[in-house]
């Protein structure tokens, strides 16, 4: 059992973060081993996964060498660049009123941005600049060829490179494999069920972020965050380290050096439309959230019994051939159910 966390000053909070249990390290070398990790749905540090990458060798040497390596492959396509003033101290999150973000996003050339980042390494008052989610398959396709990942051969990697960014607690709808090629990064992760204790901001202003500052939490304003911290794990990653995070795990990411670079892979996207869990969640927000309390209680019981099966199977008393949509969703039943839902949604005014 995790010990209770005392309320603390910023210095005390740093001590708390240093005392968090570490994410376990494993060696994964095959797609089958990765599939088992996905099934277990627990974060893992993967050691030695990208030791063969020339990008890692360049990143270990110096920022200049990695930048030159990347610029040699630049196809001249602008990519997403995020920028925040130095006054934010690299905290990428919401503005005070939750309507905007502390950073701006624009399209800029890859080589141009790499040069800007390098020029500002020794300037403490410079703005924080970072390339984020740069699709390497289109922008630097030679990188993908020269730095292969055999356990995810069909997934396009993304590049994250820049200064001392601190990204607020958020989660991903896909599985995430993050590979560090320069600098150090700290990940602090929380299980999916901690959402009520993380004080997540507006979900219709994506990406939804926690409004708690992990590195200086205001426990008087956000008392439930102490419960979240009691479940947290941490990973201190250096060049060559990789982190697997199952979908929906909440995480805070701190770039610990003035220059950091990481490549990540997202995979496992759900079907779209009536079979997409997030779209179904939004449908439930529309259909159920504002019902009278007795009706919401009914639907809560129905979801617990038939969807989450929180007390075991609720259909054991029904012969398998009569369970319909509550039984095994074979192809014919699934197709008929999808058609029924599509027809129902089309009737919506």
Question: Do 248 and 326 fall within a single domain?
Answer: no
Here the tokens at position 230 are 């009691």
Is residue 328 located within the same domain as residue 233?
Answer: no
CA distance 215 to 92: 13
Residue 257 phi/psi, 5° resolution? -125, 165
Q: Taking 70 as the threshold, does the pLDDT of residue 5 lie above it?
A: no
Alpha-carbon dihedral 210, 214, 219, 220, rounded to 10 degrees: -60
The residue among 242, 267, 292 that closes a domain is 267
Amino acid 66: pLDDT = 98
Same structural domain, 169 and 296 = no
Model pLDDT, residue 12:
56
- Pairwise CA distance, residues 176 & 336, whole Å: 33
Q: Among the three residues 244, 267, 290, which one is the final residue of a domain in this structure?
A: 267
From CA 200, how far away is CA 225, in angstroms rounded? 11
Q: What is the CATH number of the domain that holds 209?
A: 2.60.120.10
- Kindly tell me if the per-residue pLDDT of 267 is higher than 90: yes
Query: Average pLDDT, whole number, for the chain?
Result: 92
**Under a CB-based contact definition with an 8 Å cutoff, are residues 111 and 139 in contact?**
no
**pLDDT above 60 (res 108):** yes
What gap in Å lies between CA 16 and CA 52, rounded to an integer? Answer: 35
Q: Are 74 and 139 in contact (CB under 8 A)?
A: yes
Using one digit for the tens of pLDDT, what is the confidence trace for 112-148?
999 999 999 988 888 999 999 999 999 999 999 999 9
Cβ–Cβ under 8 Å, residues 238 and 192? no
Query: Do 204 and 307 sit in the same domain of this protein?
Result: no
- Asked if residue 315 and residue 245 are part of one domain, the reply reads no
53 and 189 in a common domain:
yes
The answer to whether residues 307 and 166 belong to one domain is: no
- For the segment 241-257, the average pLDDT, to the nearest whole number, is 96
> Could you give the CA distance from residue 256 to residue 235 in angstroms, rounded to a whole number?
12
56 touches 48 (CB < 8 A) = no
Assess whether pLDDT exceeds 90 at residue 70: yes
Last residue of a domain, one of 212, 232, 267: 267
**Dist CA 107 CA 165 (whole Å):** 18
Residue 4's pLDDT band (cuts 50, 70, 90): very low
Total-model pTM: 0.90
| Range of the structural domain that residue 56 is part of | 10-267
> What's the pLDDT at 13?
67
CB 103 within 8 A of CB 82: yes
Asked if pLDDT for residue 3 goes beyond 70, the answer is: no
Are residue 18 and residue 167 in the same domain, yes or no?
Answer: yes
pLDDT digits (tens, 9 = 90+) for 8-57: 444 556 778 889 999 999 999 999 999 999 999 999 999 999 999 999 99
* pLDDT one-digit tens code per residue, 161-215: 999 999 999 999 999 999 999 999 999 999 999 999 999 999 887 789 999 999 9
Residues facing 128 on adjacent strands: 84
pLDDT of residue 224 exceeding 50, the answer is yes
């Amino acid at each position: 059992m995790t010990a209770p966390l005392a309320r603390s000053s910023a210095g005390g909070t740093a001590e708390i973060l240093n005392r968090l249990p570490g994410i376990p390290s494993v060696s994964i070398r095959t797609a089958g081993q990765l599939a088992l990790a996905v099934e277990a749905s627990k974060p893992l540090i993967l050691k030695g996964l990208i030791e063969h990458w020339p990008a890692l060798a360049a990143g270990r040497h110096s920022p200049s060498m990695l930048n030159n390596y990347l610029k040699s492959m630049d196809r001249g396509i602008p990519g997403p660049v995020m920028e925040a003033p130095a006054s934010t101290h690299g905290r990428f999150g919401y503005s005070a009123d939750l309507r905007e973000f502390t950073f701006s996003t624009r399209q800029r050339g890859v080589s141009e941005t790499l040069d800007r980042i390098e020029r500002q390494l020794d300037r403490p008052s410079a703005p924080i600049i970072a390339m984020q989610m740069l699709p390497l398959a289109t922008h630097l396709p030679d990188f993908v060829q020269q730095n292969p990942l055999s356990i995810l051969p069909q997934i396009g990697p993304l590049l994250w490179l820049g200064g001392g960014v601190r990204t607020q607690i958020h989660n991903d709808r896909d599985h995430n494999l993050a590979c560090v090629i320069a600098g150090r990064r700290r990940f602090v992760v929380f299980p999916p069920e901690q959402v009520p204790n993380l004080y997540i901001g507006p979900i219709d202003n994506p990406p939804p972020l926690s409004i708690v500052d992990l590195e200086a939490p205001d426990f008087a304003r956000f008392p439930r965050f102490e419960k979240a911290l009691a479940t947290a794990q941490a990973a201190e990653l250096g060049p060559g380290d990789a982190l697997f995070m199952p979908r929906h795990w909440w995480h805070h990411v701190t770039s610990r050096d003035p220059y950091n670079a990481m490549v990540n892979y997202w995979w496992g996207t759900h079907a779209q439309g009536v079979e997409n869990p997030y779209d179904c969640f939004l449908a439930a927000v529309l259909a159920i959230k504002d019902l009278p309390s007795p009706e919401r209680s009914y639907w809560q019981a129905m979801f617990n019994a038939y969807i989450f099966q929180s007390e075991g199977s609720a259909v054991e008393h029904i012969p398998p051939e009569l369970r319909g949509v509550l039984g095994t969703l074979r192809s014919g039943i699934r197709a008929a159910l999808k058609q029924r839902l599509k027809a129902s949604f089309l009737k919506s005014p």
